[in-house]
Chains A and B, each alone.
Chain A
Amino acid sequence: QEPKTGGVINAVIQPEPPGLMMGLVQNGPTQMVSGNIYEGLLRYSPKLEPLPGLAESWNVSEDGKTYTFKLRKGVTWHDGKPFTSADVVFSIEFLKQTHPRARSNFAQVDKIETPDDSTVIFNLKEPFGPFLGVFEVGSLPMIPKHLYEGTDFKTNPANNTPVGTGPFMFKEWQKGSFIRLVKNPNYYIKGKPNLDEIYWHVIPDAAARAVAFETGKVDVLPGGSVENFDVPRLSKLKNVCVTGAGWEFFSPHSWLWLNNRQGPTANKKFRQAVMYALDRNFAKDVIWNGLGNVATGPSGSSIKYYSSDVPKYDYDPAKAKALLKEAGYNGEKVRLLPLPYGETWQRWAEAVRQNLQDVGINVDMVATDVARWNQRTSEWDYDIAFTYVYQYGDPALGVGRTYVSSQILKGNPFNNVEGYSNPEIDKLFADGAVAFSDSARKPFYDKAQKILVDDVPVAWLLELQFPTITRCNVKNLITTAIGVNDGFRDAWLDK
């Protein structure tokens, strides 16, 4: 079907982003809106293969230490200035100061060369297996050097009127109401984007978002916009399409942090008992409406080197009770922190509490708000805590950080928060990262997965799926592994 041009899309954004300058703010909503404004060098297919973005082509040297990117010609910033290789270098400098993930992703880069305006060459100190997976817009958005160089990034007035190279330009932001993006008329791909405008509506209440969709006021509900209980109802409406695609890169993985340092959870048997006590299929079917998969281990099934050859933990309360007895658990109070992200998570925590209580674990649920949850987990002040984490396609990017001992850093909410420390695992992940070629890396990760699943440093729950709900006449919305976050470049409206 031939794309049609023109039209306006109304989408929902929740919560309201604190800012739209992607280099400074990395939270979900910012990425979702600003993915239209900014672009990265690469995009990724649902199978996580690199696709051209601002880089037209790329190649990797034999030793895996030199990466050469050819940039697309004739690309301009929204303010008309040309986009060049100098901007790429500047962006990496910028992000190394403000973007913790970019900081570690580019830690291996020794130097960057720019022989001409459209060539960028990265020289690595050592081979870094996942290197080709860190160029999407969220990890490395291109930032205009001419606006930021030599300024205080944080207070630069340009932050309020973000300038990128993307298919849409920032137009208007009525705080608390909506963000309006308009078509970039000078976009370097002729005929794109198809749409004229995008409105991102800020509607803080989930039920109200569902109503807004139902009454036709909005056309796109990105993943997580409505409570799960509402998904089946909305998807049954006329002219409504639902897809789980577009989360392959993130593949959100949920688990319970189990505090490995102290209390009953320090005991491996206890942790295994927790795994057996959880009725994860119930959670999937009732709480997540059958969406997602029961997690088998530390890696999501769409992540590279995923292995299903690991010990299995089925729902088995009797076994859990037996293990608890072996662990010598004597009814001490165990604090459970739910994730303060709305009703679904609350219900899930209640179900888990019930599961744990059923096998005789004395659970005390502790309510928190977002700030407090972050503080308590990052300062290790919990026994069991819900969380979910993005995996960024590669175990070296998004999996290892949870389990290696070098990532035990008090004060940070997303690393080895559980305090698991195993030299063998440390080594496996270290070796896996610097090995170059899939066949060389796989064995390390196979082994790591087996050990981890046996040790249960955390209790894995589900591979989550956040369905994107749209009206069916919104076409071609999700084309890449980061889904809505990659912008509405290819989307069009069938009127």
Chain B
Amino acid sequence: MMNFWRTMLRNPGGVIGLMILILAVAVAVFGPLLFPTSPWRMVQRPFLPPFTAPGLPLGTDALGRDVLAGIVHGARVSLLVGLVSTMAALAVGIPVGAMAGYFGGRIGDALMRFTEFFQTVPSFALAIVLVAILQPSIVSIVLAIAIVSWPPVARLVRGEVLSLRTREYVQAAVVTGQSHSWIIWREILPNALSPVIVLASLMVATAILLESSLSFLGLGDPNLMSWGYMVGAGRTVIRQAWWITVFPGIAILISVLALNLIGEGLNDALNPRLNKEGR
């Protein structure tokens, strides 16, 4: 573990990404303390450009709402959507993949067909349908994103489990009489985790983007301020007021970038082959 942190910290990209993420999380957690009023409140004239009115460094939007307050409050929702939907996707994908890989045969085949089903239906389209069915709300959005993003997890985990299943230490567990669930949870999954973690860091980013795309199509949660909402809503007035969409856009960009950098960093840190040898 120490070793892991050391390698992680040696990767400048990963460190920068981690710092940005920590900052974003801090904003999400403590930001509402700095901006205690609702981000929906109309506080000033609409379309105030940034850096013109005191107290409104990023200007106001089409209804005269504070863009900065929106970004601060939006961090909470966007990150929440990203993290929770990723967790949920992992919660489905890991067991399905693990069981498919471990048991193989008919069960594995059935599980993979099931996965394939979710994979062949265009994911964005499926997300739209699901949100439309469940009616847009933070819960349904998270759910829809999770439902469309678990198949890659399942496939990845299955691949890992398939190769780990034949490892000698797994066989050793079998011959000492361990149960299936014990073998899956204690022997196999801990060793399959590193690629999953890397994938997960990318999924968080994808989820944030997916939420913004849903918002763009009018399928966001109308009661919660999110970056995706801001970008989508500001888009229509981009010609008059670039700042309404550019600032939240940058927030998304930076967060996604940070998560990707973390992913890369993790990838390098968790891959012993990559961090040991030179070329």
Contacts and interface: CB of A to CB of B under 8 A. Distances in A.
B42 A367 contact: no
A346 B218 contact: yes
B117 to A, nearest CB: 24
B63 interface: yes
Contact of B239 (A230, A346, A367, A368): A230
Contacts of A364: 223
A286 B132 CA distance: 30
B238 interface: yes
Interface string B116-137: 0000000000000000100111
A423 B84 CA distance: 54
A461 B236 CA distance: 23
B42 A338 contact: no
A229 B132 contact: no
Contacts of A354: 40-42, 63
B40 A229 contact: no
Contacts of A350: 40, 63, 222
A227 interface: yes
A368 B62 CA distance: 22
Contacts of B219: 367, 369
Nearest to A343: B236
A366 B236 contact: no
Nearest to B234: A343
A367 to B, nearest CB: 4
A80 B114 CA distance: 59
B218 A227 contact: no
Interface string A279-290: 000000011000
Contacts of B235: 207
Given A354-B41, A365-B222, A367-B222, A233 B240 contact: yes
B40 A367 contact: no
Nearest to A365: B222
A450 interface: no
Contacts of B223: 364-365
B245 to A, nearest CB: 11
Interface string A343-382: 1001101110110010000001111110010000000000
Contacts of B236: 206-207, 227, 229-230, 343
A350 B46 CA distance: 14
Contacts of A287: 62-63
A178 B225 CA distance: 37
B215 to A, nearest CB: 10
Given A287-B63, A365-B222, 20 more contacts: A207-B235, A207-B238, A207-B239, A227-B236, A227-B237, A230-B236, A233-B239, A286-B63, A338-B222, A343-B233, A349-B222, A350-B40, A353-B40, A354-B63, A367-B136, A367-B221, A367-B222, A369-B218, A369-B219, A372-B132
A28 interface: no
B152 to A, nearest CB: 28
B220 interface: yes
A340 interface: yes
Interface of B: 38, 40-42, 46, 62-64, 132, 135-137, 218-223, 233, 235-240
Interface in A191-235: 206-207, 210, 227, 229-230, 233
Interface centre among A206, A227, A346 (most CB of B within 10 A): A346
Contacts of A351: 42, 63
A349 B42 CA distance: 13
Contact residues of B: prevailing secondary structure = loop
A369 B219 CA distance: 8
Contacts of A349: 222
B45 to A, nearest CB: 9
Nearest to A214: B239
11 contacts: A207-B236, A207-B238, A207-B239, A233-B239, A286-B46, A286-B62, A347-B62, A351-B42, A351-B63, A354-B63, A365-B222
Contacts of B40: 350, 353-354
Interface of A: 206-207, 210, 227, 229-230, 233, 286-287, 338, 340, 342-343, 346-347, 349-351, 353-354, 357, 364-369, 372
B71 to A, nearest CB: 17
Given A230-B239, A350-B63, A367 B220 contact: yes
Contact of A372 (B135, B222, B240): B135
A71 B237 CA distance: 50
Contacts of B240: 229-230, 233
Contacts of B137: 367
Closest 6 CB pairs of A and B: A367-B136, A365-B222, A227-B236, A367-B222, A343-B236, A229-B237
A353 B63 CA distance: 12
A160 to B, nearest CB: 27
A350 B42 CA distance: 10
A210 B237 CA distance: 11
B237 A367 contact: no
A286 to B, nearest CB: 5
A368 B131 CA distance: 10
B246 to A, nearest CB: 15
A329 B237 CA distance: 38
Interface centre among B42, B222, B238 (most CB of A within 10 A): B222
A229 B221 contact: no
Contacts of B220: 367
A207 B216 CA distance: 13
A84 to B, nearest CB: 48
A366 B222 contact: yes
A357 B223 CA distance: 12
Contacts of A338: 222
Interface centre among A286, A343, A366, A367 (most CB of B within 10 A): A367
B137 to A, nearest CB: 8
B232 to A, nearest CB: 8
Contacts of A233: 239-240
Contacts of A365: 222-223
A365 B135 CA distance: 12
Contact of A367 (B63, B218, B233, B238): B218
A207 B132 CA distance: 24
